[in-house]
A and B are shown apart, each in its own frame.
Chain A
Amino acid sequence: MKSISIYLSLILHRTDLLGPIHNFLLVFLGSSLILGSLGMVLLTNPIYSALSLGLVLVCISLFYILSNSHFVAAAQLFIYVGAINVLILFAVMFMNGSEYYKDFNLWTIGNGLTSLVCTSILVSLITTILDTSWYGIIWTTRSNQIIEQDLLSNSQQIGIHLAIDFFLPFEFISIILLVALIGAIVVARQ
């Protein structure tokens, strides 16, 4: 994101573009995230809510690009939008669609109670977040003799961490994926 902003500022001959672009994109993505999640929960047509899920996942991926995590953004785009969202759309279309256009959005007492509890916990969490002094937390930094963190891109840092520090979880993750795929095939078979 910084390289893109530097490139844009060189083109437009302005040197103070990093902050405003950042803020504008943050506000834009945040508003589309809020609207997308509300649409996913409140829309009655399940295909509309699945497409709102796709919108929210794309917004989250763009947000990861803003946060200098390019590899996680690409992984999110490939895995979530490309695979999981398509899987959920298949599952939605596989169900019989004729029973969903009745008025299922009745506001029961359970809905009201859940919204009350969720809103109260959300408000308490927001006040806790705004009251915490985040920049007073000091992280002790140890000198890392193997790699210089600032000279490497995000993908290289992740590759080094996966190969050195997180080698065992990496192997376990591959075994988990294998077992999950075999289990899904066995369950979905006749």
Chain B
Amino acid sequence: MMLEHVLVLSAYLFFTDIYGLITSRNMVRALMCLELILNAVNINFVTFYDLFDSRQLEGNIFSIFAIVIVAAEASIGSAIVSLIYRKKKSTCINQSTFLTK
């Protein structure tokens, strides 16, 4: 009972943030929704690590690696967003000529 509830919760989080990522007009909101997508996947990993035999599953290790990769990606993403804002003075996500001089 508990496993299905947690999986349904993480699936709901995943699809809510995919919706937020696709329909956001703001670049920072898209970045925030991307973080939550990866967090939903981490919830799945940790739940399967907890509720099954944990001799061969190393889900905790993989979720730690995923957290570290997300930290690197968030730093680069916010650096790119600040560069785009500095050049274009607007954060509308519909523009396609972001980084041209």
The residues of A with any CB-CB pair to B shorter than 8 Å are 22, 26, 30, 33-34, 37-38, 40-41, 46, 49-50, 53, 56-57, 60, 63-64, 67-69, 71-72, 75-76, 79-80, 83-84, 87-88, 90-92, 94-96, 99-100, 104, 110-111, 114-115, 118-119, 121-122, 125-126, 129-130, 134, 137, 139-142, 144, 149, 154, 157-158, 161-162, 165-166, 169, 173, 176-177, 180-181, 183-185, 187-188
Contacts and interface: CB of A to CB of B under 8 A. Distances in A.
A118 B71 contact: no
B57 A139 contact: yes
Interface size class for chain B? 35 or more
Contacts of B6: 26
Nearest to B11: A125
A92 B58 contact: no
A84 B70 contact: yes
Given A53-B36, A80-B39, A104-B25, 11 more contacts: A30-B5, A69-B49, A69-B50, A76-B42, A76-B67, A87-B78, A95-B28, A157-B60, A177-B68, A177-B72, A180-B72
Name B's interface SS: helix
A37 B49 CA distance: 24
